[in-house]
Amino acid sequence: MKKIIVLLTLFLNSLLVLAQNQDSLFIRSVFSNALTDNTSYENLRTLCKKIGGRIGGSPQAAKTVSWVEETLKKIGADTVYLQPCMVRNWKRGSKEICYATTAKNVKQKFDVCALGGSIGTGVNGIKAGIIEVKSLDELKLLGEEKIKGKIVFFNRPADPTLYNTFRAYGGAADQRFIGPSIAASYGAIASITRSITVVTHKYPHTGIMHYIDSLPKIPAFAISTIDADNLSTIINKDASVKVYLESTCYDMPDTISYNVIAELKGSEFPHEFIDIGAHMDAWDITEGAQDDGCGVVEMMDVIRMYKQLNYKPKHTIRVVEFMDEEMGQRGARVYAESVKKNMEKHIASIESDEGAFLPQGFSFESGDETVEKRFEQWKYLLMPYGLWNFHRGYSGVDISFMNDQKFPLIGLNNDSQRYFNYQHAATDVFESITLRELQLGTASIASLVYLIDKYGF
């Protein structure tokens, strides 16, 4: 009996070693394929250079939907379809203007842009005194008396001492997101927010802002970090400085747009899904290469690669290219609702929205403790490719609307050091992409999807 157990153990062990070797070899083939294929790079070039910025509701967003649909069909997905969603239809209008006039009548121009969702000043602009604050709390201390009729200038920098720049971003974002409304509650007539980035340069970074319903709406701007410093210097020298602001943004009625969904049908469980998602929309002042064109083309590329490697997944791999992440995540909401309504069985939902930088691991939320265990088991297969960091945590905006479901939401985590050189600014162009980093993004996702497809959660 003892002999039989020993033999059986040896046999099972050798099966395990065989499976591990297979996994290791397949993942090697995934990385080799990605690192020698330029399809995703050329797709991204097309998206950035032929279409460019593509905020929800814009003609470019509509073009993107068609191009993504067509490209996924060309790649050979089994099914490609559009999922309609209504989206906000905000327009920037003409290029914004900002300058300060000192007591000695010296004019100085600044690089600004309207925040996404802001109302405009109109063509006659706004000219007023300005008051600099470092926090929302400071507004309370100053009170209506000092703020009323003025422009509020939020100038607290994203904290450069934080290693993870997403944390630095998060720590400054209140000034952009609700700052304008809070300023308005004390009588401010416009606001300027320091661009939320750890880099000092001349490009303003836009991004969505939110008006609190009960408060007056005021025009809201972002200013480049260099000019935030310049403006601060001027104000500190001369409190009587007047600032002129002009923007012509406005909202049109909501309009229809689409998520683009493509599937590679599962051979054993065609009605069980592994989602891989990214967002198609991108701010109008960018080419949306890092945010999030790279994610869009990476997800397409997983399909290309699986077909080329002749890998037939057991579960259906569903590419979800979301619309409207930047403004209202309307595509993501519609998708999450459809998953719930159709009572679909999902194994996992993966998102890539951290640019095309060195992949370092995956975060995960929802799901049970099996997720931790699996990543622990898979670690040795992924670490040779720099994927070392697996942890529970927030995993992406678009998939977050499914966090009431039982399956895990997973985010590709990339090196964050360079992301905010580009996010929401004119610097987010195709040329900022490093080919190999984009390729490693595809390979990291394709490797994880393979493991999930094989072992599940």
Which of 129, 171, 187, 386 forms a contact with a second copy (CB under 8 A)? Answer: 386
Distance CA 140, CA 135 (A): 9
Our finding on whether 13 is near a second copy (CB under 8 A) is no
Our finding on whether 251 is near a second copy (CB under 8 A) is no
For residues 441 and 449, the answer to whether their CB atoms sit within 8 Å is no
DSSP structure string for 132-151: EESSHHHHHHHHHHHHTTSE
Instruction: Report the chain's terminal Cα–Cα distance, integer Å.
Output: 34
User: How many other CB atoms sit within 10 Å of the CB of residue 164?
Assistant: 12
Our finding on whether 92 is near a second copy (CB under 8 A) is no
Using CB under 8 A as the binding rule, the residues of this chain from 294 to 313 that contact a second copy are: none
- When the beta carbons of 74 and 436 are compared against a second copy, the nearer one is 436
Segment near a second copy (CB under 8 A), from 52-60, 284-292, 340-348, 430-438?
430-438
Segment near a second copy (CB under 8 A), from 60-68, 236-244, 300-308, 415-423?
415-423
The residues, ordered by sequence, that sit 6+ positions from 328 with a Cβ below 8 Å of its Cβ are: 56, 87, 88, 208
β-pairing, 79-91 vs 250-264, is: antiparallel
Query: What's the closest the beta carbon of residue 96 comes to a second copy, in angstroms?
Result: 28
Indicate if the alpha-carbon torsion angle 52, 56, 60, 64 is positive or negative.
Answer: positive
Our finding on whether 434 is near a second copy (CB under 8 A) is yes
Our finding on whether 171 is near a second copy (CB under 8 A) is no
Which of 218, 220, 289, 440 forms a contact with a second copy (CB under 8 A)? Answer: 440
Using CB under 8 A as the binding rule, the residues of this chain from 22 to 51 that contact a second copy are: 31-32, 35-36
Our finding on whether 170 is near a second copy (CB under 8 A) is no
Of the candidates 69, 72, 67, 30, the residue with the CA atom closest to the CA atom of residue 442:
30
Query: What's the closest the beta carbon of residue 198 comes to a second copy, in angstroms?
Result: 7
Query: What's the closest the beta carbon of residue 388 comes to a second copy, in angstroms?
Result: 5
Amino acid at 158: A
Segment near a second copy (CB under 8 A), from 8-16, 81-89, 410-418, 424-432?
410-418
What is the three-class DSSP state of 171?
A: helix
Which of 421, 432, 442, 447 forms a contact with a second copy (CB under 8 A)? Answer: 421
Determine phi and psi for 123, rounding to 5 degrees.
-70, -15
Which of 9, 20, 267, 389 forms a contact with a second copy (CB under 8 A)? Answer: 389
- When the beta carbons of 45 and 318 are compared against a second copy, the nearer one is 45
Our finding on whether 208 is near a second copy (CB under 8 A) is no
The residues, ordered by sequence, that sit 6+ positions from 171 with a Cβ below 8 Å of its Cβ are: 158, 159, 162
- When the beta carbons of 39 and 181 are compared against a second copy, the nearer one is 39
Of the candidates 456, 24, 74, 35, the residue with the CA atom closest to the CA atom of residue 303:
74
Our finding on whether 83 is near a second copy (CB under 8 A) is no
What is the three-class DSSP state of 201?
A: coil
Distance CA 75, CA 23 (A): 25
Our finding on whether 390 is near a second copy (CB under 8 A) is no
As beta bridge partners, residue 54 has 282
Residues that bind a second copy (CB under 8 A): 31-32, 35-36, 160-161, 163, 165, 198-199, 358, 360, 384-386, 388-389, 415, 417-418, 421, 434-437, 440
